[in-house]
Amino acid sequence: MAEALMRADHGDRFEVYSAGTLATRVSPLASFVMKELAIDLSGHSSKTTEALRDLDFDVVVTVCDKARENCPYFSGVGKMVHKSFEDPSDSVGSLAERQDAFRRTRDEIRAWMSLWVKSYFG
């Protein structure tokens, strides 16, 4: 969700990539709540950081503690940024309750990224 939100809101300023600690699948619930914002995740895939090893980054952002702890070293990184968000994939309850967990995380990520971009560009 973070990659898609960053592309949608700030793709004119950043070249955005995302990867996780494990390659799984894009959650159907993530796709559902992103579609509510007219953001289509159907072309997205889950990948690990290994797929990005040969790229140079100005900024690496981690959005959960597990990712920060397991994030590999990327040479040439100018800045490491971390903000931990609740992993909505860990939510339990009814479908509506799990959708709400994904919405909360989506909205928290979007709000934080907007503030971060403003501070990054001073």
pLDDT tens per residue across span 73-92: 666 677 888 898 999 999 99
Using the predicted structure, report yes or no on whether residue 36 has a pLDDT greater than 80: yes
- Going along the chain from its start, the domains and CATH numbers come out as 2-120 (3.40.50.2300)
Residue 89, token pair as written in the block: 């994939």
How far is the C-alpha of 8 from the C-alpha of 40, rounded, in Å? 10
Q: What is the pTM of this model?
A: 0.86
Mean pLDDT across 4-16: 92
